[in-house]
Amino acid sequence: MSKKVAVVTGANKGIGLAIVRELCKAKFTGDVILTARNEKLGNEAVKMLKSEGFEVSYHHLDICDQGSAKQLNDATETFGEQAEVTMRTNFWGTLWVCHALLPLLRPNARVVNVSSFVSKKALDTCSPQLQAKFRDTELSEEELCLLMGQFVIAAQQGNHQAQGWPSTAYGTTKIGVTVLSRIQAHFLTKTRAADGILLNACCPGWVRTDMAGSKAPKSPEEGAQTPTYLALLPDGMKEPHGQFVWDKTVQEW
């Protein structure tokens, strides 16, 4: 393929669907691929977008499972179980997809990892030792993965807070996504400095989705603004890169 390609994960509804729509509205000069775990819902979303005049294709993708799809039941989870499942989806899933797609990036590619403002709040409740590790610009991907694994083990043992971890599994996994984005950006700068690739993490904000509920202040379309802004940064820009961006503004980490 000679054209650009935009791959949006979890895009059959909510923020992901809104990002696809915003990319199409912005006349993204390439192929827009909508991915979702559920093939029926993914294809229905594509059909709806095509009825609006947008050209989108569907590809199945379950970012939280490297092999066959895993069915989760609705039983009440312990914090340890919640930590494992949430880490698998938010952190490991993002890492696996990035490992698959980053080698395919063309010059001037844009990568946007969806994190959350909760990552910053969770970081502030970590022990000083953990905060220093997560703010260390020399932290490697391997060291970050080890830390994420240590959190899950501590959560399963019930002593995560005693070890300096936050009481939020979601927030901790999003710390991982934000820091992973910085590490990946540094790697791209070292290995492909002349290619103009920009990679960032962002917070869409508190958005009215199935997870956040109906009381959230932002619509999915509003939540899609910052991810779309980062995905469409013009060629030749040097920044932001390796940053955490919220409301189109770089946040201090």
Collapsed DSSP state (helix, strand, coil) of residue 134: helix
170 given a catalytic annotation:
yes
Neighbours of 129 (CB within 10 A): 9
- How far apart (Å, rounded) are the C-alpha atoms in residues 206 and 189? 31
95-117 burial by CB neighbour count: b if 16+ within 10 A, else e?
Answer: bebbeeebeebeeebbbbbbbbb
Instruction: Show the CA angle centred on residue 61, arms to residues 34 and 104, nearest 5°.
Output: 80
The single residue of 117, 165, 170, 246 carrying the catalytic annotation is 170
Which contacts qualify for 77-82: CB closer than 8 Å, 24 or more apart? 79/155, 79/158, 79/160, 79/169, 80/152, 80/155, 80/156, 80/157, 80/158, 81/156, 82/155, 82/169
Q: Annotated catalytic sites, by residue?
A: 170
